[in-house]
Structure 1
Amino acid sequence: MGSLRHAMPKELYAAIPEIADLTQHRPRDDEDAMDFLFRLRSSTTPEEAVTFTAFAALPQMAVWWGYECIRSLPEAIEARDRDLLALIAAWTAQPTNDLRHRTMEVSLYAPVRSPAVMLGLAVGWSGGSIAPNDPAPVPAHRAPRSINSAILSGLARAPLSERSVRLARIITLAESLCRS
């Protein structure tokens, strides 16, 4: 369970009920993360595997996964986002509050809500306070929802003829999180 918030998807849906607003499929009582991911992957809405993984993985791991997904979608990376992506990578390697707040600040003031900016917001919402001077906790669904938006909006920028292959690669990468 090293990379996941909960051992069983059913527990995840109970702990963060907002995921149910974004998925049609529900986990079965005895279904583990890998089985649920495989069922989502083979459904008529395989994008739900992205949503599930964004919510299921622990925040730092989910951001790392989102970062790797965005990097695999060159259409999703704009020149102005390269410095932000470097901040996100730095935070995944060393998740300090200073880096988290800096990444959040850059993302909040970005001129466009690109996939990288959505992922940067997820870093800011990954835990702890929203800002250095604001002790309010971040709701658990904020980061995963932003990671989901980052990946799916990045995927939407890929040529239509390549989307299913790119989605399959993203879900294969998600499997590594569900196995650990």
Structure 2
Amino acid sequence: MAHGLRFKTARDLFAACPAITRDMRTPPTEQHSIAFCRDLLAGRIPEEAITFCAYLLPERAAVWWAHECLSHLSDLFDETDHRLLGLVRDWVSEPDSPRHRTDVRAAAAKSPTTPVGWIILAAGSREDRSAVAAMPALDLQPSPAAYAINAGILAGLARVALVDRFSVLSAFVEIGIQMAEIEALHQSTDAS
């Protein structure tokens, strides 16, 4: 399944997305992307596995992954965040819907003050580059969606009780790896 990944090795991803070096300290290797990600999770800075997944996944899949991660933390969010998670869900399922695109653009125009706000900004960055330009922290990023997804998931993770944090982090990374493998399968099927 993994032979169809967008980036076969960690070095391939780093070469294609040099912005990742701003967010990670671990240098790339020739290791297969999935194995590298799992090693990051088991390493000194396990949060880097989240960062790696944010860049590894195609943007729309990464937004969905972030939605899935933050949905597992829904008891830590308020009503506004629940509404924004619904917008992300609707946008991912129908990204060409004019209504969903308008809703995401409007929500992304606001400064991200919560983990879910970062994810809506990632979705909005695909819809409207002016949303990114209005956010100095994102406008300077070569990969604004990956940066926002990483920020949103890590901010959500920071709300988790310390005793539970590694298990939640591990679950999030496994979801990301599964999504990468599904994307690889789709790419392999499309190439056939």
The answer to whether the 8 Å contact 1:100/1:123 transfers is no
Letter in 1 for 2:43: S
Please report how far the alpha carbon of residue 120 of structure 1 lies from its aligned counterpart in structure 2 after TM superposition. Answer: 0.1
* Equivalent residue number for residue 14 of structure 1: 15
| Alpha-carbon distance in structure 2 between the residues aligned to 1:171 and 1:21 | 20
Ranges in structure 1 where 5+ consecutive residues have no aligned partner: none
The answer to whether the 8 Å contact 1:104/1:124 transfers is yes
| 1:90 pairs with 2:90 | yes
- 1:68-125 CA deviation, whole Å, 9 max, x = no partner? 0001113542211222111100111111273234313213236x61111100000011
More helix by share: 2
Aligned-residue sequence identity (percent) comes to: 27
Q: Give the secondary-structure state (helix, strand or coil) at the position aligned to 2:147.
A: helix
For the aligned residues, what is the CA RMSD? Answer: 2.5
- Relative distance call for 1:45 and 1:171 in structure 2 (3 A) is same
Letter in 2 for 1:40: L
* Equivalent residue number for residue 100 of structure 1: 101
- Relative distance call for 1:75 and 1:148 in structure 2 (3 A) is farther
The correspondence of residues 75-86 of structure 1 with structure 2, limited to 5 A, is 75-86=75-86
Letter in 1 for 2:161: P
* Equivalent residue number for residue 54 of structure 1: 54
* Equivalent residue number for residue 119 of structure 2: 119
- The more displaced of 13-22 and 101-110 is 101-110
| Alpha-carbon distance in structure 1 between the residues aligned to 2:3 and 2:66 | 17
Letter in 1 for 2:113: R
TM-score (norm. length: structure 1):
0.85
Q: Give the secondary-structure state (helix, strand or coil) at the position aligned to 2:19.
A: helix
The answer to whether the 8 Å contact 1:101/1:130 transfers is no
The correspondence of residues 28-177 of structure 1 with structure 2, limited to 5 A, is 28-29=29-30, 31-96=31-96, 98=98, 99-109=100-110, 113-126=113-126, 129-130=128-129, 141-177=143-179
Q: Give the secondary-structure state (helix, strand or coil) at the position aligned to 2:13.
A: helix
- Relative distance call for 1:97 and 1:14 in structure 2 (3 A) is farther
TM-score (norm. length: structure 2):
0.80
- 1:10-30 CA deviation, whole Å, 9 max, x = no partner? 12211211101111112212x
- Relative distance call for 1:3 and 1:169 in structure 2 (3 A) is farther
| Alpha-carbon distance in structure 2 between the residues aligned to 1:8 and 1:104 | 34
| Alpha-carbon distance in structure 1 between the residues aligned to 2:150 and 2:75 | 17
| Alpha-carbon distance in structure 1 between the residues aligned to 2:97 and 2:128 | 9
* Equivalent residue number for residue 26 of structure 1: 27
| Number of equivalences | 173
